[in-house]
Amino acid sequence: MQHNNQLKTIIIDIAPPWLSPEELDHRMSELESLVSTYWGVTIVKRVQKKVTPDYRTFIGSGKLDEIMNIGAELGAELLIIGNIMKPAQVYNVNEHLRVAGSKIQAWDRVDLILKIFALHAVSPESQLQIELAAIKHMWPRIYGMGMELSRQGGGSKNAKWQWETNTEIMKRHLKEKERIILEKLKTYERTRALHRDNRKRNNLKTVGIVGYTNAGKSSLFNTLTKKWVLAEDKLFATLGTSVGKVWIENPSEDIAIKNGIEILLNDTIWFIRDLPPDLIAAFTSTLEDSIESDILLHVIDAGDPWCDEKITIVDDTLREIDATQPRLYVFNKIDTINTEKLGELREKYSHLNPIFLSAHTGVWIEELKEILRDKLFS
């Protein structure tokens, strides 16, 4: 399948009936952004309200036939179901499409995110982490597909035995591959640990930047470090860790840091809704520097109407990876909102002691540096 902006895609979201139209639009918009990041173009959007997804195909055979007919007319190549599905369900959807003679391939939300990660994995380490994430994702699918196919073997013991044998072979293969990848990743982890120890010996303070995808995290990194990393309006535009130095002028009379101080800034992968724990676990080594940093900057898009939900998602994810250090909540992109909205945000999030700035215009960047200096060296 070619990765170009002509990859015609149908997207469908199975959502609980109680979600508001605004919430449904938000979920669909994020899914469409993920497709765009994969260089796809959405040609059809569907929302299906269900309390309980279809046991066999998640979306139901009737809806699947409807999508298949539309896809045939419009030349669709890809069907993205914006939910996390069971292994057998993904298999059943693709089988339904194949048997009907459709050329459309079906993925769920995790498949799509993994494909996006693979597109943006540049360093050898991030490529290894993608492989590991794919194995963790495939493991239950191989097992689930094997069980499903065994049952489809009907009364033939030989057919059932064959599928179980193939499943066992695949499981052993994946297990061995996982072992090799983990061994290679340990080399990177050891190197990173040595660098962290060296920084501690030299009393070099570190700050990690985290945030929901598209909050302007890389833009803030660029502004603070004067070091260029990719910052564009796409989800997961950057993958892996970028490290830069920030020089902070010091007006203090403290002789030890009289001329100023230098800190290290770590920019890591983004977080997003419904990112499975196994996927996060695969990136543990990339996230280590942020987990071990002295302070975390949690970057938030001030103009995002869903920032409340996204703050919770990032905080929950940080809790999952045991990132417990002090945190500064940085509301970025204040150049995109008016004074009234800024006042509302200040009041609503006063309990977080937030910092409001614009990485794009540089407003309040120097104030952020002063806050970091006071927090790190007080």
For position 45, what pLDDT does the model report? 95
For 341-359, what is the mean pLDDT? 97
| pLDDT average, residue stretch 86-97 | 89
Burial of 239 (C-beta count, 10 Å sphere; 0-12/13-18/19+): buried
Q: What is the DSSP letter of 298?
A: E
| pLDDT grade for 147, boundaries at 50, 70 and 90 | very low
Asked if the model's pLDDT at residue 154 lies above 70, the reply is no
pLDDT at residue 157 is higher than 70: no
Q: Is the pLDDT of residue 348 over 90?
A: yes
Question: Residue 149: its pLDDT value, please?
Answer: 41
Average pLDDT over residues 346-363: 96
pLDDT at 252: 58
pLDDT (mean) for 164-192: 84
Per the prediction, the chain carries an average pLDDT of 83
Pick the CATH number of 7-118 from 3.40.50.1980, 3.40.50.11060, 3.40.50.9100, 3.90.700.10: 3.40.50.11060
> Which residues in 167-195 are b (16+ Cβ under 10 Å) and which e?
beebeeebeeeeeebeeebeebeeebeee
Contact 77, 105 (CB under 8 A): yes
Answer whether residue 156 shows pLDDT above 60.
Answer: no
Q: Which residue has the higher pLDDT, 302 or 189?
A: 302
Residue 229 CB contacts under 8 Å (≥ 6 apart), including other chains: 218, 221, 222, 238, 242, 267
Of 170-174, 224-228, 367-371, the one with minimum mean pLDDT is 224-228
Q: pLDDT tens across 260-274, in order?
A: 788 889 887 778 888
Question: What is the spatial distance between Cα 44 and Cα 190, in angstroms, rounded to a whole number?
Answer: 47
Percent of the chain having pLDDT more than 70? Answer: 82
Cβ density class 305-320: b for 16+ within 10 Å, e for less: ebbeebbebbbebbee
What's the CATH number for 203-377? Answer: 3.40.50.300
DSSP 250-289: --S--GGGTT-EEEEEEE---B-TT--HHHHHHTHHHHHH
Give per-residue pLDDT as tens, 273-314: 887 766 777 666 667 766 778 999 999 999 999 999 999 999
Radius of gyration of the chain (CA): 24
Q: Do 7-118 and 203-377 have matching folds? A: yes
- Least confident range from 51-60, 167-176, 355-364: namely 167-176
pLDDT digits over 109-139, tens only? 988 988 888 887 777 887 888 888 888 777 6
The pLDDT score that the predictor gives to residue 142 is 60
Minimum mean pLDDT among 47-56, 156-165, 200-209: which range? 156-165
Q: Where are the domains of the chain?
A: 7-118, 121-184, 203-377
* Residue 255 confidence (pLDDT): 47
pLDDT in tens, 190-247: 887 787 777 777 778 889 999 998 899 889 999 998 865 444 545 444 445 677 888 8
Range in 124-138, 140-154, 158-172 the model is least confident about = 140-154
The pLDDT of residue 137 is 74
Where helices occur in 121-156 by DSSP H, the ranges are 124-152
